[in-house]
Each structure stands twice: as structure tokens, then as C-alpha cells.
Amino acid sequence: MAKNDLMSGSLWDQYSNKVTTLMNAPTNQGEITQEECDTVGHKLIVADFGAESCGDAVRLYWEVDPQNDTIVNSKFKSFGCGTAIASSDMMAELCIGKTVQEAVKITNIDVEMALRDDPETPAVPPQKMHCSVMAYDVIKKAAGLYLGVDEGSFETEIIVCECARVSLGTLKEVIRLNDLTTIEQITDYTKAGGFCKSCIKPGGHEAREYYLVDILNGVRHEMELEKLHNAADAGITGDFETMTMVQKIKAIDAVIDESIRQFLIMDGGNVEIIDVKDSPEYIDIYIRYLGACNGCASSSTGTLYAIESTLKEKLSNKIRVLPI
């Protein structure tokens, strides 16, 4: 809460002009019939997603040229609010001219980005993001139908939120793609947890197999591990100064392992980290020399300088290395 949150209710003012224009006059609204497709030898694909009882439903129509899998025409019908209609319209627009294989790569982000007036300003407020997620889902469904891939997979996917019919896969993907960190964001983006709330955490009126809190924690944990992994792989470039203490120690260890320890070992010595102390001006790393290094004259001059400058170069200028 702060000054900008004191006034609510200006939801529609946060829509881009494109959203407003498409809601008022959607360009791809309508249906494609079997007859139209038959006369030119094209294949008709019609897929539904959502339900009126969820507050949003969309039907996507594709006319596909089977010679090259190209979507030559796409239309939609939608039960929903302004952003649902505008997102559906933009989704249909983005499909036209693409092959089915290309179309399936269209994400909710692409739809929302395409609805922006300028690249920096979101087209819709966060609580309306779910409208574009639905566009993403219905495309995948249509593509599955056309390609005949694993039609049953849509039936066996794990649905975490029954009310909004959001699958485990979608949730993991949306959390990852949009870097979501809270349950509220998940609800804004997917609608999951926005209805009966049973799927948010245990203790709701219905027991569930999966809960949003666990999924979020799981994905965040995976993302964190990947980040560390990537950081380690990249020689720990990342923002060292903002890392947690444990991350810092690991990063320091990684640099020592990669660039320092081998040279010490060649000389019959080694080094271990004793402690790391963080202050606004310095990051002090206390080390202890082992083996031949212990007592070596260079250990407080040249070797120390080499260790410190390596860590400074790879991690942070604030580092001081202090042998004990």
C-alpha cells in the first residue's frame, strides 16, 4: 500500500488503446465453417477453452492448409470481459500466416505484448493477465488437435485448479516465464486459486493433490538452483554483492576451486575459507593456508595478492582477503 494504491476502480483506465479498440470492434470475431474449408481442401480446427461458469470462455477456429501446415485464417468467439475479447482477437491475429508448429510457440506474453501501445507499458492491469493466458492455452489445444499429438494428454494433464481448470504444467510454465513470486500473482495470471480457493493451500473445503503454495515453492526452488548453477557455470558473474551469505560463500568457493586451488596444490599447499564478513564498505574473506602454504613467505604477499585480485576481479571490488 502506498499513495498509488489509495484509489481503486480505475481498471479500465489501465487498458491500452489497442485493447479498447479491439474490444469495441474485434477484427477476427466470427466463425469458420466446415464448408468453407472443404471447398479449398483445407482442414478446420475448432477448440474451446474455459467455461462460462469460470467467467471466461473462448472458441478458436483455424483454417489450416494441410500442404504446408499453414493457418490461412483464424477466428474466435468469446464469452468474457473486454480484455478477454481483445486478447482472443489478438491471438487469432497472431496465428494467421503461421504454421501450426510456429503458432504453438505463441505465449500469453506474446499476446499481451502485441496489445501494448508502447513496449514499456503493460496492455492490461495484472488481474487481467489471465485473459491472455487463456489465449495461450486454446492455441496449444488447437495445435494438439491438428497435429494429432497425444490427444489424450489433454485429458490426463494434472489439473491443479478445477474451477479455472489450470494444469500443473501451465502453472509451472507461467510461474517460470513470468518470474512470479506470490500466490496473488499466480491468481492474476492464471485464475488458479481465484475461485473456491481450495487449491491454494491445505485446509480449504476440499482436499487436493497439489497446492499452489507447494508448486510455487517448488518452482522457485528449481529456479534458484538453476540460477546458482548458471552463475557457477558462468564463473559467477551475477550480482555478487546482493547474494545471500551462503551464496557468497559458494561463489567464493567456486572461484577458488576454479582459479586458485590448483596452483596451490601444485606447490603442495591448499587453502580453506574460514569465514566471510559483510559490511557496507568491505567483504572480508578470512582464509587459512594449509600444507606447504602454511608459513610460506609468499602466503602473505604474492600469493595473497593473487588470491585477492582474482576474487576481486571475478566477484567484487569490495573484497579483502585476510589470512589468519
Give the shortest CB-193-to-another protein separation in angstroms: 9
Q: Which is nearer to another protein, 151 or 257 (CB)?
A: 151
The radius of gyration of the chain's CA atoms, rounded to the nearest angstrom, is: 27
Question: Is 131 one of the catalytic residues?
Answer: yes
Give the shortest CB-271-to-another protein separation in angstroms: 55
141 contributes a contact to another protein by CB under 8 A: yes
Question: Is 95 one of the catalytic residues?
Answer: no
Give the shortest CB-219-to-another protein separation in angstroms: 22
Closest CA to 164 of 198, 141, 213, 124: 198
13 contributes a contact to another protein by CB under 8 A: no
Point out the catalytic residue in the list 37, 81, 95, 131.
131
98, with CB counted inside 10 A (0-12, 13-18, 19+), is middle
Please, how many CA atoms are within 13 Å of residue 144, restricted to the half-sphere of its CB? 14
Q: In angstroms, how far is CA 83 from the centroid of its own chain?
A: 21
210 contributes a contact to another protein by CB under 8 A: no
Q: What are phi and psi of 189, to 5 degrees?
A: -85, -35
Which parts of 55-114 interact with another protein (CB under 8 A)? 55-59, 61, 76-85
Point out the catalytic residue in the list 54, 161, 163, 293.
54
SS (H, E, C) 259-307: HHHHHHHHCCEEEEEEEEEECCCCEEEEEEEEECCCCCHHHHCHHHHHH
Binding mask 159-198 for another protein (x = CB under 8 A): x--xx-x---------------------x---x--xxx-x
206 contributes a contact to another protein by CB under 8 A: yes
Give the single-character DSSP code of 158.
Answer: P
Which residue among 145, 147, 304, 306 contacts another protein (CB under 8 A)? Answer: 145
Q: What is the dihedral of CA 65, 151, 179, 92, to 10 degrees?
A: 30
176, with CB counted inside 10 A (0-12, 13-18, 19+), is middle
Q: Which is nearer to another protein, 29 or 270 (CB)?
A: 29
205 contributes a contact to another protein by CB under 8 A: yes
Q: Which is nearer to another protein, 55 or 122 (CB)?
A: 55
d(CA 242, CA 224): 14
Q: What are phi and psi of 190, to 5 degrees?
A: -120, -10
Q: Which is nearer to another protein, 149 or 225 (CB)?
A: 149
Catalytic residue IDs: 54, 131
Q: Give contact residues for another protein (rule: CB under 8 A).
A: 8, 11-12, 23-24, 26, 29, 31-34, 44-59, 61, 76-85, 127-128, 130, 141-142, 145, 151, 154-155, 159, 162-163, 165, 187, 191, 194-196, 198, 205-206
